[in-house]
Amino acid sequence: MADKLTAKAEQTRAGIVDAALRLFRSEGYDAATMRAIADEAGVSLGSTYYYFSGKEELIQAFYDQLQVDHGAAAETAFDRAAFADRLRGVMESFVDVAEPFHDFGGQFFRNAADPRSPLSPFSAESAPAREASTALFRRAVEGSDLKVAPALSQELPELLWLLHMGVVLFWVHDDSEGQRRTRTLIAGLVPLVDRSVRLTRLPLVRGLVDDGIGLVRSLRG
Amino acid sequence: MADKLTAKAEQTRAGIVDAALRLFRSEGYDAATMRAIADEAGVSLGSTYYYFSGKEELIQAFYDQLQVDHGAAAETAFDRAAFADRLRGVMESFVDVAEPFHDFGGQFFRNAADPRSPLSPFSAESAPAREASTALFRRAVEGSDLKVAPALSQELPELLWLLHMGVVLFWVHDDSEGQRRTRTLIAGLVPLVDRSVRLTRLPLVRGLVDDGIGLVRSLRG
DNA sequence: ACGCTCTTTTGAACACGTTCAAGAAGGAGA
DNA sequence: TCTCCTTCTTGAACGTGTTCAAAAGAGCGT
């Protein structure tokens, strides 16, 4: 499928992706049927399935694009040195970038929760997007003034990505105007995270953190 | 729909539920088509839709049954006084009860992320099941030897339910034999929670917890 | 120009969840 | 019994995502 394609074939494929993204944005998830996408791209239904294994792969393209946009929007967050500022910047920029797609975001993330679906953020197929997203949080940690134990700082980016997934879940269910409640959540959550991480240097807390990290690592291996 | 039904109609309805649960268990989610359920129940396809608004409502019945089973299985956990033992009992009993449906559980969890679906654990329609589940964690807290600030102990059951949802998400993605990894997660998580909660009495941690509770309450209101 | 082969394209067909107009069954009042 | 109304039941039909055998196109050696 991703093998050598004629220049013309490559063009057809790109046209289908474009048509799909256009319809997802303008019509939403439900109305963007495979037949509508094929029509919009000016090809037959069968051709769509020649280039893509199914609707999910088309949605993956949309998902990837969103990830790229998030990365670009988060860039300004790294101007600051304070960890809290950097983290807030990364988290808020997601809400900014994803806002236009909030209405069908739910329909979209439905597939993401299916463990057998390649669209799941935990799937092998999503590894590139997941790694790109985690990299944002890694930059938020590593470029900052934050001082934490090496063991924790190594796991922190992935833990923050996990927290981000929780925020996204909240965002999906948030029907307040402009996702105001999600923004409130982030505004309150970021200082809590900041203070919590710094508290890990306390002797009494440290043992707890070490055990937590040990658990995470034993589950990953 | 839930209005007065003839005795015979009630029987038909029950027969459809039975057939659905039977097929969900034996064939899984995908193979349990609405036509197969209708056949198994010995009625027409249309009749199935006369009693149930759709496949989701049938799955809701399955979900409710699972919740009832979990409640029954968790009962033995409340023999012990230690908070950690009680919490572990509640969490482990879910894995025990849900194990036969692990394959199907993933398909089910698809709907959890869809805010428009009544099957979402956060939906208004799921409120009874959610409350029943939260009650298990409330009993784990309130009957135990745990001493925490009143403000926290009030929110703790719901927070533990949220943690349970996280464990369920892990469970759904856990393809190890007998969900061994999920059991490892619970075994490691419970002591961490136990110690974390007790740490909230530390002056330095207390302020953090108060702010966290304040955030939760401001988001709920 | 002619075959030959690989790539690309097509539209019919399938099973699914869901809807719906129409009919069957059952009881209440005459 | 007959009539009327509500409750229950039915199977055809629609639009969906997906599959597939067959046709069309594109390059290439002869």
Same structural domain for residues A117 and A199?
Answer: yes
Of the residues B52, B67, B83, the one at which a domain ends:
B52
- Would you say residue B25 has pLDDT above 90? no
Same structural domain for residues A75 and A44?
Answer: no
Same structural domain for residues A112 and A145?
Answer: yes
- Interface contact B103, partner A, CB < 8 A: no
* B112-144 pLDDT tens trace: 677 888 888 998 888 999 999 999 999 999 999
Same structural domain for residues A10 and A66?
Answer: no
Same structural domain for residues B47 and B66?
Answer: no
Q: For residue B19, give both structure tokens.
A: 């057939």
Same structural domain for residues B166 and B72?
Answer: yes
Measure in Å the smallest separation between the Cα of B86 and chain A Cα atoms.
20
CB B109 to CB A112 under 8 A?
Answer: no
Task: List the single protein residue with the shortest CA to C1' distance from D20.
Answer: A46
Q: For residue A165, give both structure tokens.
A: 């997934």
Q: Which pLDDT does position B184 carry in this prediction?
A: 98
Q: Which pLDDT does position B61 carry in this prediction?
A: 86
Same structural domain for residues A126 and A154?
Answer: yes
Same structural domain for residues B108 and B171?
Answer: yes
Of the residues B9, B33, B52, the one at which a domain ends:
B52
% residues pLDDT > 90 (chain A):
72
B11-40 residues near strand D (Cβ < 7 Å): 12
Q: Which pLDDT does position B106 carry in this prediction?
A: 74
Query: Cβ of A217 < 7 Å from strand D?
Result: no
Task: List the single protein residue with the shortest CA to C1' distance from D9.
Answer: B47
Chosen for mutation from B56, B123, B213, B215 (greatest number of chain A CBs closer than 10 Å) is B215
| Whole-number Å distance between alpha carbons of A64 and B99 | 34
Same structural domain for residues A27 and A130?
Answer: no
Q: For residue B99, give both structure tokens.
A: 């194990």
CATH number of domain containing B38: 1.10.10.60
CB B115 to CB A196 under 8 A?
Answer: no
Q: Which of B114, B169, B192 sits opposite A208 (nearest CB)?
A: B192
CATH number of domain containing B109: 1.10.357.10
Same structural domain for residues A28 and A72?
Answer: no
| Whole-number Å distance between alpha carbons of A123 and A196 | 30
Which residues constitute the domain of residue A35?
Answer: 1-52
CB B173 to CB A120 under 8 A?
Answer: yes
Query: Cβ of A50 < 7 Å from strand C?
Result: yes
Residue A212 CB neighbours (<10 A): 19
CA proximity to B165, closest of B205, B112, B211: B112
Query: Cβ of A33 < 7 Å from strand D?
Result: yes
| Whole-number Å distance between alpha carbons of A129 and A70 | 11
Same structural domain for residues A174 and A111?
Answer: yes
Which residues fall within 8 angstroms of residue B209, CB to CB, at 6 or more apart?
Answer: B149, B152, B200
- Among A30-39, A85-94, B23-32, the range scoring the smallest mean pLDDT is B23-32
Residues of A in contact with B189 (CB under 8 A): 215
- Interface contact A217, partner B, CB < 8 A: no
Q: Which pLDDT does position B2 carry in this prediction?
A: 43
Reduced to 3 states, what is the DSSP secondary structure of residue B201? Answer: coil
Task: List the single protein residue with the shortest CA to C1' distance from C9.
Answer: A47
Same structural domain for residues B3 and B23?
Answer: yes
Query: Cβ of B221 < 7 Å from strand D?
Result: no
CB B110 to CB A109 under 8 A?
Answer: no
Residues of B in contact with A208 (CB under 8 A): 192, 195-196, 199
For B9-39, the three-class secondary structure string (H helix, E strand, C coil) is HHHHHHHHHHHHHHHHHHHHHHHCCHHHHHH
Residues of A in contact with B218 (CB under 8 A): 184, 188
Which residues fall within 8 angstroms of residue B170, CB to CB, at 6 or more apart?
Answer: B181, B182, B185
- What average pLDDT does this structure show over A98-119? 79
% residues pLDDT > 70 (chain B):
97
* A119-176 pLDDT tens trace: 889 988 889 999 999 999 999 999 999 999 888 999 999 999 999 999 999 999 999 9
In chain A, the number of structural domains is 2
